[in-house]
Amino acid sequence: MWGPLAAQMLYVGEPVLRHVLRTAPLNDLAELLETPEGVARLRQWLDQD
């Protein structure tokens, strides 16, 4: 539900965030958040030990 909104916020804020978080893969994160499958992949990755 919130994934697509978060993705759009990352796309819009990327130019500013790029200066603050120089090495963060913001575009990749935004692409993951755009689809339910991407959100599921992110959750799975975060749940790994």
Q: pLDDT per residue over 7-45, tens digit each? A: 788 778 777 777 766 766 777 888 888 888 988 988 898
**Amino acid 24: pLDDT:** 67
pTM strictly above 0.85? no
Where are the strands (E) in the chain, listed by range?
A: none
Q: Is the pLDDT of residue 3 over 70?
A: yes
User: Cα(19)–Cα(3) distance, rounded to whole angstroms?
Assistant: 23
Domain count for the chain, please give it.
Answer: 1
Determine the structural domain holding residue 23 and report its residue range: 3-47
Do 31 and 7 meet the contact criterion of CB atoms below 8 Å apart?
yes
Helix axes 36-47 and 26-33, enclosed angle (nearest 10)? 120
**Amino acid 26: pLDDT:** 74
**Amino acid 49: pLDDT:** 66
